Amino acid sequence: MNKRQFQHQCGRINDWLLIILAFFLPLSTTVASVAALLFLACWLIEGDFRRKYKEISTNAMSRAVLVYIALLFVGLLWNSYLDASASGIQKQWKMLLMPLFLTAIRPEQRWQVLWAFIVGMGVMMLSTYLAWLGLLQYADVSQERLTKKSFHVVYNPMLAFTIYLLLYQLIWGRLRLWLRLTVLLLAGLMFINMFMTDGRTGQLVLFVLMGVLLFQYFQTSLWKALLALVLAPPLIFWASYHLSPTFKDRVDLAREEVQIYKHNPRTSVGQRLFFWEHSWQIFKESPLLGVGTGAFEPAYAKRNGKYSPHMPVTDNPHNQYILASVQLGLLGLGTLLALFATQLWQAWKSTDDWGKLRLAFPVFFLMVMFTESYLLIHETGILFSLLSAILYRQVPPAGMAAVAESGQKEGATLPG
């Protein structure tokens, strides 16, 4: 095997590594991390850097990501807590994968990777049902807690988007009857599972995504689309509240924690509100440029020690917008929002069947980032990079015929 053949093989290996990464993303951070590292090694060995540079530099989404990452490095210049600088960059490494994924994902492979993620989520969902039935128990997973530790923070939001993907395929995908029935069953099981588990963020974003889905379904009639967008989320919320004891208990608990916040902020919701309130005070001291990349934790600890030593410190305000604003000021918040503005613009310009997904994905992330810094978390950080590469990759005009041909070969799984 000569050098060129070896490099070509590395490119083909990366096809499988992307599928493996997508499948194990909800299942194992270790396997997903190893797959990402192997992908990087093969990406470097494969070479073809001229093509890759051109694709990265001409893609609007990859440019937005690189500007965001560049600002993180520039933000080190005004960080007065230099020992925290490395941590601020390290937590964002998942973002750097997006331009690399972009140059590796082949157009005809996009739904293969998405299906791998869906199947991985299906396996994860199955484990929660087995735990619910008392047939599976590991770590702190039991019939009372269906996911380990705080995994519901990422599981339920990813489950919400998976449900959207399945319903998208059910409505607009060219599926054979047996696959259509399988997708319908899987979506139903996931919908039920959403309200058996504890992730309130995932449950709330599901209501929004269902509104988006119905809006897209009725978009040929503007009044029907707007009516669906307005009515679907509250109606689904009302039905879930009255049909799911777990969801009802979580909603009631959140409402109670908000009511007692001033007297007892040491609750799940109360601590978030407390973090947000104190982060706002830090932001007001440096509104334009912030305290610098990686300086949130020491800056918060300093304020907390002065004004509220009885409360725990945090390295994360559990809100991506607040984190960006505190670290990099309005400039950082604007750069963060530019990522999703770029995605929404690409969705608006879309003339192919991927336009609906290109709209739903930023809506999904814009919603969940109100309750957690999801770009920092391993699973959702990689999910952002992987799906951004899949959804916003520009197909070269010269390759359109090949894409169409491969789409015909995929048949059931490619939505056109």
Report the domain count for the chain: 1
Q: Residue 288's pLDDT is what? A: 94
- pLDDT tier at 311 (50, 70, 90 boundaries)? confident
pTM here is 0.89
- pLDDT tier at 37 (50, 70, 90 boundaries)? very high
**Least confident window among 18-32, 55-69, 149-163, 220-234:** 220-234
**pLDDT tens-digit readout, 168-194:** 999 998 888 999 999 999 999 999 999
Residue range 154-172: average pLDDT? Answer: 96
Q: Residue 1's pLDDT is what? A: 65
Q: Is residue 118 part of a domain?
A: yes
* Residue with token string 């797959």: 35
Q: Is residue 195 part of a domain?
A: yes
**Least confident window among 95-104, 124-133, 138-147:** 138-147
Q: Is residue 201 part of a domain?
A: yes
Q: Judge whether residue 401 has pLDDT over 50.
A: no
Give a three-class secondary structure readout of the chain.
CCHHHHHHHHHHHHHHHHHHHHHHCCCCHHHHHHHHHHHHHHHHHHCCHHHHHHHHHHCHHHHHHHHHHHHHHHHHHHCCCHHHHHHHHHCCHHHHHHHHHHHHCCHHHHHHHHHHHHHHHHHHHHHHHHHHCCCCCCCCCCCCCCCCCCCHHHHHHHHHHHHHHHHHHHHHCCCCHHHHHHHHHHHHHHHHHHCCCCCHHHHHHHHHHHHHHHHHHCCCCHHHHHHHHHHHHHHHHHHHHHHCHHHHHHHHHHHHHHHCCCCCCCCHHHHHHHHHHHHHHHHHHCCCCCCCCCCHHHHHHHHHHHHCCCCCCCCCCCCHHHHHHHHHHHHHHHHHHHHHHHHHHHHHHCCCCCHHHHHHHHHHHHHHCCCCCCCCCHHHHHHHHHHHHHHHCCCCHHHHHHHHHHHHHHHHHCCC
Which residue range forms the structural domain that includes residue 326? 50-413
Q: Is residue 23 part of a domain?
A: no
Q: Is residue 42 part of a domain?
A: no
**Least confident window among 71-80, 179-188, 252-261, 349-358:** 252-261
- pLDDT tier at 399 (50, 70, 90 boundaries)? very low
Q: Residue 333's pLDDT is what? A: 97
Q: Residue 64's pLDDT is what? A: 96
Residue range 318-328: average pLDDT? Answer: 95
Q: Is residue 24 part of a domain?
A: no
Q: Residue 22's pLDDT is what? A: 97
Average pLDDT, the chain: 88
Q: Is residue 39 part of a domain?
A: no
Q: Is residue 181 part of a domain?
A: yes
- pLDDT tier at 400 (50, 70, 90 boundaries)? very low
